[in-house]
Structure 1
């Protein structure tokens, strides 16, 4: 099938909707789409994600949000209430379990029953589809702040139907960002099509007076993703969502570690996304930003882990990100306790409050970084549209085939995997190999120069060993992976 960036008709959505709701018994609870819309309208404005994000953006506030999710409803409610009250979270998630992410609801059901028997969560998240509409509404009603669905699902259609009808007001993911970094054998044609359904559903809610925020997953594969790559994916997913009627978008970026580059990335993400949405005719769209704290390996020492968390919190505040996704001091040890999760939140809250009135001055270094990110991102975006003959959906599929857009270290066989990122001598992300990215000589020479400067400082030839050293550096107490 050929997928195009064209707004779906309501007839198409409603026809396919019957098939989607029939994939698991709890789908029957949301057959009346207007009932879900009316329930959303009954919620107070204080529980609307988009409203809270826009207020924060207007007032220069960086909101804090954790990741969290367990198998059983009462325990999940208790976890979210703890993070709200003890962690002082401004926004809350329901992180979905791995079985649900792969639409393996039978196995999720088994995980629920085994969790009941053992008295502890044996799933790594909240199986919202299995719990169904009323239980999901219990989650939303149990807290005082907006709740988001966070997952990692290539086909998130049934999950969207149930959680939106249940009062969740933010939905994370996208046809690229929840495919290329997460799946090996799922085609982009399929996932873009699946997510057009989700975005058209959210567009329908908007047309009926309910604002649902959408958040593409920014970090992709982690901490060595060049800003131009994550920016390109975020902006294309924003355009695809806007075409289906989505009006509120939060675009994300994962911390790379160099303060100047990270601040430049958040600022250019806001600027470029607004530029391309308007250029493509999508007016009255509201864009906010999310900064993900360090997505790579963490130190096992909790004191050192708090240092990593604090650096992410300070960077988010100085960049004026609208919100920051918070890590915990137990990152190196697996799923954190609720107490550790709350500690990460309070640490971050302290930093963003202290830095609320401070900004990073626009130095020559910051201006140069912003300009280079914009050049790189525009080069990729404009080429995507060109190879798609003016259509973004067609363009992104062809661009991945040609390596015009390439996500480093992604498992997907639909990703070229030719680019090779590494840090420069100041810890900023550059590229040892730019693969088939559509860069001109000026951009390529810039990357070569920055990598060469590091090689000279370390008295070694730039090579793949630098990449390996950089991956393990934070766990050893450094940002740049220097030779011993």
Structure 2
């Protein structure tokens, strides 16, 4: 079946829901009308849309960690600790890897092993296995909104369980939770799965329940040029809006150059607003998310705090609505709750200090924003051309042609020809354009920026720069200079 950028037919959607809910026994716990009534009883301070919109109106940057463990009582204790000790404004429920791959039986075994071992044997919270009632216990145990964060190509049942369970924010998208996460899943399949997720959120919206949706901004997380992540975010925003979603948080992963990072958040908001309005979705609200550095971290905790602090400063100065916080244990594996709280408090301190400060528009800032906007528009315009105006078909064909191409992604449906590298000031540029539909002057701009670095370092502009840049922050620098 050829999928199109059309709202799912309600009758077919409801019929599909019946099949989705049969995929695991806890699906029987979902009663949509009862879930709507439950959502309408949730206190205002635990509804994500309310908190995000209030913060956005006053230019406040909220802080949110990543966190999730296998057992409900331990997960609740972790969230309470991060709220009270870490001073988190918003909380997550990060889902385990088995659930992300719809391997619910393996997740069930992980729950059993966790109880036997007395510690979490899963790298997240298996919400589908725990079911609606337990999800509600998680949400009711804290006094701030909780978001579902995961990485699931097919998140239909996860969305059903967690939304009925009282979560008011659901992360992901058909591109951002496929190409950076999966090897063999077709883009047509995940877009269709996420049309269902977005239609479910839209269906709740039609019944008076506000649920926020957040495409995953950083993608592969390391040196992703802003125009690539922006293009994905805007496509996923438009696809979600088509299905009735009214509240969107669009994200971007920190690259490290302050001017470029601030310009990226500002341009993302402007571009999203322009495209949503152009497509007739002027009633859709947009907030922004800044992800602290997603690449390699220094092993030394003191140096790791510097990376976290730099991300906090960039998030605040960009006026992002919220910042996703890293921990000083990033180089070591899953952090302790104490390390997680420490990263939060570090970020909170800097965000509070910078709340009343801004970064003046400069020539460099304006130039950076203009270039990001031009590149993003050139990609999106070509996507729409390939689809003859249909965004879904345009996206599928764009990935096939390499017009959409995410650096370092594992998916075999991704061309993998684009290579980024830093310029002499640490901003991320294109070393190899692949088949991205950029004009000659845009390509020359990037070549000139990288050539400047090559001259300063007295070396060729080549793949070695990419390798050096990937490891640079972990070694204490931003730009991967030769020794």
* TM-score higher than 0.5: yes
Other-structure match for 2:101:
102
Other-structure match for 1:195:
194
Equivalents in 2 of 1:475, 1:237: separation in Å?
32
Other-structure match for 2:25:
25
Equivalents in 2 of 1:34, 1:270: separation in Å?
34
Equivalents in 2 of 1:2, 1:467: separation in Å?
38
Whether 2:146 is the aligned partner of 1:125: answer no
Equivalents in 2 of 1:46, 1:13: separation in Å?
31
Other-structure match for 2:386:
387
Other-structure match for 2:236:
237
Equivalents in 2 of 1:38, 1:480: separation in Å?
53
Secondary structure (helix, strand or coil) at the match of 1:214 reads strand
Other-structure match for 1:469:
468
List aligned pairs for 1:62-73, cutoff 5 A.
62-73=61-72
Other-structure match for 2:310:
311
List aligned pairs for 1:96-175, cutoff 5 A.
96-175=95-174
Whether 2:355 is the aligned partner of 1:373: answer no
Whether 2:95 is the aligned partner of 1:82: answer no
Other-structure match for 1:3:
3
Other-structure match for 1:183:
182
Other-structure match for 1:320:
319
Equivalents in 1 of 2:169, 2:398: separation in Å?
29
Equivalents in 2 of 1:440, 1:332: separation in Å?
39
Equivalents in 1 of 2:371, 2:194: separation in Å?
31
Whether 2:445 is the aligned partner of 1:446: answer yes
Which consecutive residues of structure 2, in runs of 5 or more, have no partner in the other structure?
A: none
Equivalents in 1 of 2:336, 2:45: separation in Å?
27
Give CA-to-partner distance per residue, 1:444-468, whole Å, 9 cap, x none: 0000000100000000000100000
Secondary structure (helix, strand or coil) at the match of 1:287 reads strand
Equivalents in 2 of 1:134, 1:420: separation in Å?
46
Other-structure match for 2:55:
56
Equivalents in 1 of 2:2, 2:357: separation in Å?
48
Other-structure match for 2:414:
415
Other-structure match for 2:251:
252
Secondary structure (helix, strand or coil) at the match of 2:222 reads coil
Alpha-carbon offset, residue 12 of structure 1:
1.3
List aligned pairs for 1:247-326, cutoff 5 A.
247-326=246-325
Equivalents in 2 of 1:359, 1:221: separation in Å?
29
Secondary structure (helix, strand or coil) at the match of 1:222 reads coil
Equivalents in 2 of 1:14, 1:165: separation in Å?
15
Alpha-carbon offset, residue 223 of structure 1:
2.4
Q: Could you state the TM-score of these two structures normalised by the residue count of structure 1?
A: 0.99
Secondary structure (helix, strand or coil) at the match of 1:263 reads helix
Equivalents in 2 of 1:274, 1:404: separation in Å?
23
Other-structure match for 1:46:
45
Equivalents in 2 of 1:356, 1:158: separation in Å?
39
Q: Could you state the TM-score of these two structures normalised by the residue count of structure 2?
A: 1.00
Give CA-to-partner distance per residue, 1:422-472, whole Å, 9 cap, x none: 000000000111111001111000000001000000000001000000000
Equivalents in 2 of 1:118, 1:223: separation in Å?
35
Equivalents in 2 of 1:76, 1:419: separation in Å?
39
Alpha-carbon offset, residue 120 of structure 1:
0.2
Secondary structure (helix, strand or coil) at the match of 1:331 reads coil
Give CA-to-partner distance per residue, 1:246-275, whole Å, 9 cap, x none: 000000000000000000000000000000
Other-structure match for 1:14:
14
Alpha-carbon offset, residue 282 of structure 1:
1.0
Alpha-carbon offset, residue 283 of structure 1:
1.9
Secondary structure (helix, strand or coil) at the match of 1:184 reads coil
Alpha-carbon offset, residue 2 of structure 1:
1.1
Alpha-carbon offset, residue 321 of structure 1:
0.2
Other-structure match for 2:211:
212
Equivalents in 1 of 2:470, 2:341: separation in Å?
27
Alpha-carbon offset, residue 44 of structure 1:
0.7
Other-structure match for 1:37:
36
Equivalents in 2 of 1:34, 1:227: separation in Å?
41
Give CA-to-partner distance per residue, 1:99-126, whole Å, 9 cap, x none: 0000000000000000000000000000
RMSD: 0.5
Whether 2:477 is the aligned partner of 1:478: answer yes
Which consecutive residues of structure 1, in runs of 5 or more, have no partner in the other structure?
A: none
Aligned residues: 483
Give CA-to-partner distance per residue, 1:22-77, whole Å, 9 cap, x none: 000000000x2111111111101111101100100001100000000000000000
Equivalents in 1 of 2:222, 2:266: separation in Å?
18
Secondary structure (helix, strand or coil) at the match of 1:400 reads helix
